[in-house]
Structure 1
């Protein structure tokens, strides 16, 4: 009799669930242009709904498909789309009242798409609160182009799917929450999290990756901490200017571990360069070069825009140098444009800075001159960019050639460990007829202590270290290097660097032996064997 009552109650509950009248979302512009949920996968529970293309009316009722989840568990998911800039939200009607609340606890996931290769993919975490009562619920997945979808959507491009989820009881060991990263440097950071609500008898494990792919229950942790009260750990040996994803899990007993937490993402900072360093501006500047559009060398630059941009040196070709166009008229006011280098550690030797420069008329190779209050300055900072000293000024009185002119400056009096250089340009306040372009190329900071014979032999002494290496391989001197290629033992080129830097980042390579091929500027070639650990 008791069994019959339970079966009857379950049937009644299921009938109640599906008797609810849910709004049917719509998207005025539809999903036929790629703004669809083309696939929806939750790998940890083996749920995969693929190749669904654009549903009729931009809505698919897939409640005949059930997904088994547990309270208190985070589930990484991924969705593919036919077009980029998609925003995804997922809701579950935990009170079975026929509506989805666009806030926690019923809003269980928010994420946005990225371009990965040729694919537009949204990676995210679906988090079931530990307090949810086990039962059967309706889940809605909404996707909208460039704007947050809402449960009862009506506008925009996008699509929505409905599914059934069956939520089971929370496991005995629940993951920690709110992983965060602070104190980020070029090679390290500090990871913290909020303690698990479970009794954590052993400690916590964490997993660090350069991939968004979530770890599984069998994934080997990167590291661990012992003790339930230890809620932070340093992360070290990281590569500069790299995105990292981090997950944490509880180790409740020697044999019981939680699922992994939601992930957090952070990016390491640019490394401080130790010369020799050469940058030829092929492809413009990297993110370790900064731009600014406010302030003068008498103060501190600010902003993140600039009138410095890539073009052919002295208007020969279309790439490989940086230039600033200096002009003014009744519609163009004064501008202050900065191009700021990475930081350099100049404490370990005698160095000089050098580059090539020149001036032409706008969009021409013809000679020109700067306007009455036009100004270009080469400046230096020894405190990472807060205060600046002027090393060189070009103004209306300067006879700047329309052919390549070398510039060099001894840095013997500037031994700072956090030194930056910058090119500052302004068109001033006076409206002049001059319409000129100032160019720079081949920016170099190099050691000046080598003898002539040593300089002639420098390319024969180029080394790569550490060898074997883990993620980063350092090249001792790239001043004479045109390009760097990484070749595997089969002869296949794995990576190419057309703008060589002293550090090359190879964290994603499998372990094994590689050939580091250095194509020199004089036409010669050198090969260094390197082992990836």
Structure 2
């Protein structure tokens, strides 16, 4: 089927809007200056993304915060897929940009829709898959921190819903920010954590002055290789299963501060 590209056209909203200040949060509220600049690409079928206050089916509560959220509708079970495409993000000067959001994706009697996350580095570029969420999530859940590879001045992300007759897919509070502390921030916090040994063959040890809440490991292409939820000042992560190469480890503490560091797996 021929792909269709249909933008929103609203008075006073530029479809060429570009985000240049980060962190940037999309709330999908009517007060958001960028909510109407999201566009849709119908990869197959005509299933809709829209900004709504009430979920079509499957949930008793509304948006994660505020009044509105993005929703992928559910009246199909043929694998119809539609991308919800962000405005252009100028990430050319953002250090190690990351993406996270809140979502829910509840199954319906065992039928499970899929939420896929893509990026492209230009408005006509090829889409590259970052990750897929295809398990039943009945309440608002954080996506975890996703690395955005190959940052450019004309970057876009896409949330793709794939319809397999599950409940509605809801997304809210999309956040794009730098994944690495600025120099001044790092100077203040550089002694708060330690990652060792580096290089390593079997384990990475993390020691932090603040309690660690989450550890993620990515390869240099941005693929998430591991994610560990924690509540401790010291963590030991097995890495023996990883292929030899260089990886990025991201450490989030209980105060929400995110640190990133490269390590080498021998």
Query: If the length of structure 2 is used for normalisation, what is the TM-score?
Result: 0.52
SS of the residue aligned with 1:326?
coil
- Alignment check: 8 A CA contact 1:358 1:439 kept: yes
- SS of match in other structure, 2:151: coil
2:26 is matched with 279
Alignment of 1:335-374 (within 5 A): 335-350=80-95, 351-360=97-106, 368=108, 371=111, 374=113
Q: Secondary structure at the match of 1:291?
A: strand
Superposition deviation, residue 407 in structure 1:
2.5
In structure 2, runs of 5+ residues without a counterpart are: 1-10, 189-266
Aligned to 1:416: 152
- 1:289 is aligned to 38
8 Å Cα contact 1:369/1:400 also seen in 2: no
Q: Does the 8 Å CA contact 1:376/1:394 hold for their aligned counterparts?
A: yes
Find the counterpart in structure 1 of residue 142 from structure 2.
405
1:454 to partner: Cα distance: 4.3
For 1:121-520, list aligned pairs within 5 A: 242=12, 269-283=16-30, 286-292=35-41, 294-295=42-43, 306-312=48-54, 315-317=60-62, 319-328=67-76, 335-350=80-95, 351-360=97-106, 368=108, 371=111, 374-395=113-134, 398-411=135-148, 413-428=149-164, 434-450=165-181, 454=185
Distance 1:370 1:342 in 2: 34
Taking a change above 3 Å as real, the CA distance of residues 357 and 295 of structure 1, as seen in their structure-2 partners, is same
Note the alpha carbon deviations across 1:230-253, whole angstroms, 9 max, x for none: xxxxxxxxxxx958xxxxxxxxxx
Deviation at 1:277, TM superposition (A): 0.7
In 2 relative to 1, CA 400–272 (structure 1 residues): closer, same or farther, beyond 3 Å? same
Contact 2:89 2:153 in 1 (8 A): yes
**425 and 387 in structure 1: CA distance in 2 versus 1, 3 angstrom threshold:** same
Count of equivalent residues: 168
1:381–1:355 distance in 2 versus 1, CA, 3 Å:
same
SS in 2 for 1:402: strand
3-state SS in 1 of match to 2:170: strand
Q: CA, structure 1 residues 242+404, in 2 after alignment: closer, same or farther (shift >3 Å)?
A: same
Calculate the aligned-residue CA RMSD, in Å.
Answer: 3.6
* Corresponding residue for residue 263 of structure 2: none
SS at match of 1:417: coil
Greater C-alpha radius of gyration = 1
Structure 1 residues without counterparts, runs of 5 or longer: 1-240, 244-266, 297-301, 362-367, 429-433, 458-533
Partners of 1:438 and 1:445 in 2: how far apart? Answer: 20
Whole-Å separation in 2 of the counterparts to 1:450 and 1:347: 16
In structure 2, relative to structure 1, the CA distance for the partners of 1:369 and 1:278 (3 Å cut) is farther
SS at match of 1:287: helix
Work out the CA distance in 2 between the residues paired with 1:328 and 1:317. 22
TM-score (norm 1): 0.28
